[in-house]
């Protein structure tokens, strides 16, 4: 192993192992002790709001807990998940409503994240061009991101209103539709309404990440392409896209994780309608409205497992970055 003369202990990767015990200076020991001391408050809070509640959710999912008797819950094994009783299968895994929620969630995630990626790239490409007022445009693009989800859901609900909504009015003026559409109430349209709102709100996030990647691209390969007379479209697919792929993937994964747990936009826009019900909405309905903590926790647990799988896949891919260097 080679070493740099100027290796500093604070530089990640400067050396592989901490100094052997006992021989380390007082400073080093003090620093490591301080590090743990500094981490403790954060770790306690995370344990309190994340670790312990998660374990409780796991436990509730194998009990018959209800909202009023959470402490006195009895262990019932995996009955919340699946049970064969009286000649039929019951439980979460046999509940068509649950599978509907799973399908809705996946559909919502796939479509909205896909649209956000495409739109995000377009917005980023526009923002990457030099033009007067670019800062202002960038600020304008950020507005949807900053608006509270509830507010954007309400605004869109108003714009999508079947009788007085501006969108129906606009579409009819343009001759795109003949009669007003019941965007949020019509089962065949409501999912698209939800996706529309989510795309509007989340595209800026994707666009900003892609923009950051675009601005780090080396300009020389573009000049080379220009000199060679390659068409811009070809340059985009052959040069730009592969280079921004890592950033785009990060954005997609962040968005996908958000979309998989989507709750508020759907809750406000279409309430508990089964045509848009996602896993989170389903779980919360079981937990809070039906007060069936056991069953709802089982749904939460499954949602957690799905997201954990996606996260682990991501962490595994991004593990090298986690090693220390940024």
CB 313, min distance to another protein, A: 11
Nearer to another protein, 10 or 188 (CB): 10
CB 262, min distance to another protein, A: 9
The DSSP letter of residue 63 is B
C-alpha span between 154 and 99 (Å, rounded): 28
The DSSP letter of residue 239 is I
CB 311, min distance to another protein, A: 4
End-to-end CA, the chain: 22
Nearer to another protein, 48 or 84 (CB): 48
CB 153, min distance to another protein, A: 8
Nearer to another protein, 16 or 188 (CB): 16
C-alpha span between 67 and 59 (Å, rounded): 14
CB 83, min distance to another protein, A: 20
Please report the sign of the dihedral spanned by the C-alpha atoms of residue 7, residue 11, residue 17, residue 20. Answer: positive
8 A C-beta contact, residue 265 and residue 149:
yes
C-alpha span between 134 and 139 (Å, rounded): 9
CB 257, min distance to another protein, A: 5
- DSSP β-bridge partners for residue 193: none
Nearer to another protein, 99 or 311 (CB): 311
**Of 246, 217, 211, 240, nearest to 141 (Cα)?**
211
Tokens of 246: 């890592």
Nearer to another protein, 89 or 230 (CB): 230
DSSP, residue by residue, 120-150: HHHHHHHHHS--TTHHHHHHHHHHHHHS-HH
Nearer to another protein, 89 or 218 (CB): 218
């Amino acid at each position: 192993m080679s070493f740099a003369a100027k290796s500093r202990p604070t530089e990640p990767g400067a050396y592989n192992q901490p100094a052997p015990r006992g021989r380390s200076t007082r400073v080093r020991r003090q620093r490591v002790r301080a590090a743990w001391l500094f981490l403790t408050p954060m770790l306690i809070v995370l344990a309190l709001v994340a670790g312990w509640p998660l374990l409780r959710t796991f436990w509730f999912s194998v009990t018959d807990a209800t909202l009023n008797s959470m402490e006195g819950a009895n262990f019932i094994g995996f009955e919340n998940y699946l049970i064969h009783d009286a000649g039929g299968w019951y439980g979460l895994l046999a509940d068509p409503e649950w599978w509907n929620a799973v399908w809705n969630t996946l559909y919502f995630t796939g479509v909205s994240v896909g649209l956000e990626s495409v739109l995000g790239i377009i917005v980023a490409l526009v923002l990457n061009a030099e033009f007067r007022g670019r800062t202002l445009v960038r600020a304008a693009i950020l507005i949807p991101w900053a608006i509270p989800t509830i507010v954007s859901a309400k605004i869109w609900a108003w714009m999508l209103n079947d009788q007085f909504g501006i969108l129906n009015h606009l579409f009819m003026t343009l001759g795109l539709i003949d009669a007003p559409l019941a965007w949020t109430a019509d089962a065949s349209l409501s999912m698209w309404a939800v996706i529309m709102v989510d795309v509007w709100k989340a595209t800026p996030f994707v666009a900003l990440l892609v923009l950051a990647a675009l601005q780090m691209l080396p300009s020389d390969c573009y000049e080379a392409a220009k000199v060679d007379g390659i068409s811009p479209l070809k340059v985009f697919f052959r040069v730009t896209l592969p280079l921004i792929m890592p950033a785009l993937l990060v954005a997609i994964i962040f968005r996908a994780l958000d979309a998989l747990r989507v709750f508020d936009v759907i809750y406000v826009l279409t309430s508990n309608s089964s045509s848009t019900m996602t896993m989170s909405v389903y779980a919360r309905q079981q937990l809070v409205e039906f007060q069936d903590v056991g069953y709802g926790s089982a749904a939460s647990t499954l949602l957690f497992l799905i997201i954990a799988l996606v996260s682990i896949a991501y962490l595994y891919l991004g593990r090298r970055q986690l090693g220390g260097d940024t």
